[in-house]
Structure 1
Amino acid sequence: MDGRRMATVGLVLAATAGVVGCTPMSDADRDASASPAPSASVTTSPEPTPDPAAAEKLPLPVDEIPDWAETAVPGSETDGYVGSLSGWLSEPLSAHYMSRFQSLEPGIYQAQIACRGDGTISASSGDLDAEPSPQPTQCTNATIAFDITTTSTGLKVELDLQGEPSIFAVSLRRVA
């Protein structure tokens, strides 16, 4: 996909996500005018049904999540950056979220997740065709870095919420 098409797709996803709770971004989505850099095609789980009552329990308004995410986790200026995503989760309508970075080369990546709210978000990751991590990273009002090792092309990130509605930002960078 060329940069303009990726940026258009990113803007459509971002606009939709403001309503439903998730905003995946690749490097091209974050800054369409940036010089060419590694990027990944991203697919996400089906859009959850919005829950206005849950949105009222979030630590900040839904439309401010993308701005918060830009400062909560490393962005495109970070060495090895390959993509990021942000949004919010709530039970029972949108407590699970999955994003697939389908074209990333096998290797070692570092993910950083930031979460805010009274819920706990479990982050699992790995190869596209593998089961979720047996011991996911748990995030409750924190920012946590963790490593992801893949052995085949592509990488997936799964987020699951337990408890109250919470917001999240995840950034990925290749380290080896």
Structure 2
Amino acid sequence: MRQFTIKRQTLETSIKVALELDGTGKAAVNTKIGFFDHMLTLLSVHSLIDLNVECNGDIEVDGHHSVEDTGIAMGDAFRGAIGDRKGIRRYGTFYIPMDEALAMVSLDISNRPFLVFETGELAPMIGSFDTQLAEEFFRAFAFHAGITLHIKVLYGKNSHHKIEAIFKALGHALRQAIEKDPKVDGIPSSKGVL
């Protein structure tokens, strides 16, 4: 089973993340930031990755440390669960429409982390979630997971719809990329290593 559990403790946050790549999309998420919890739950459901996140952070300051550190912990857990990357499809690309918004996520589980993040203008807040933190989460996750991650909202007006479409598209792109390919024996790279 491709699963991993990690605990991350700092002076600002205490986080436990457990994930199972070959799951069914069961989620139990509690970061104390409602919209963020909802997005992580959607990510789990659409990726079929079982995800448990418990975060106690200094949200009396703001949500920055909780969101970024959750991304770090989830990335580290993903890296642990994916292991040597043998036999995976490696790449995933998915488009998700959410009412008037359309988002695309394309990724490579390459061990060469990178983030491209283009959403257009976002409202400053969605509930208690600072929308600037979406990019911080995806950067932390991508860099700690070892993923090249491209995110683009092609169009849309509603910030909730834009961000929700991104998380759903990421879920489906991850689902594609982590899937075992019966035709692939070993590392899916001409270099023989990822």
Greater share of residues in helix: 2
TM (norm. structure 2) is 0.32
Greater share of residues in strand: 1
**Higher CA-based Rg:** 2
